Amino acid sequence: MEREIRKITVGSPLRDRQHGFTLIELMVVVAIIAIIASIGYPSYMGYVTRANRTAAKSLLLQVADRQEQFFANNKRYTADLTDLGYAANGFMINNQGAFTPGGADNRIYAIRLTNATPVTYTVNATPVLRQAGHDAQCQTLTLTHSGVRSQTGPSTECW
């Protein structure tokens, strides 16, 4: 079987065929990617903000549970988080709800007890760093000894 060999010369259809992409085609692709990213990024950031808020709410409920156990054992609430087994009286958490140093770049909420008396307490989760900028609708989350949940921001859908 013999192969047909074509001679490629200047001006022949095989020689003039284009290889690769034109600048216009690349610019169209870049523009489409930019449009998709501009639509998707705000949705993604909203999801991250809500997920971080969930980590803070979970920790607030954990502190409340520990306060109730402390009250059952001591007939009073404590004003010091170290009495509840936490490493510090006021601490920072990261987006996984784990304790993080006060100077860490990944901290998202500061957890503190306020208005603590032998019969009452309020535990607060105040957003810090990027979370503070992204969570302007809820801002500081609070939980009281009687289970009242609130926030300092204008939204009513934080809890």
Tell whether the model's pLDDT for residue 108 goes beyond 60: yes
What is the band of 8 on the pLDDT scale with cuts at 50, 70, 90? Answer: low
User: What Cα–Cα distance (Å) separates residue 104 from each residue in 36, 54, 89, 90, 93?
Assistant: 33, 20, 17, 15, 10
* Residue bearing the bigger pLDDT, 96 or 139: 139
Residue 82: inside a domain, yes or no?
yes
Residue 54: inside a domain, yes or no?
yes
DSSP letter, residue 82: G
- pLDDT digit string, tens, across residues 19-42: 788 899 999 999 999 999 999 999
The share of the chain scoring above pLDDT 70, in percent, equals 89
In terms of residue numbers, what domain contains 80? 20-151
Residue 5: inside a domain, yes or no?
no
Structure tokens at 157: 């859908």
**What mean pLDDT is reported for the chain?**
90
- pLDDT digit string, tens, across residues 43-58: 999 999 999 999 999 9
Written as one string, the DSSP assignment of 87-141 is SSSSEEE-TTS-EE-TT-TT--EEEEEES--SS--EEEEEE-HHHHHH-TTT-SE
Name the amino acid, one letter, at 31.
A
Residue 34: inside a domain, yes or no?
yes
Total domains in the fold of the chain: 1
Q: Residue 127's closest CA among 152, 98, 159?
A: 152
Residue 109: inside a domain, yes or no?
yes
Residue 4: inside a domain, yes or no?
no
Residue 60: inside a domain, yes or no?
yes
Residue 2: inside a domain, yes or no?
no
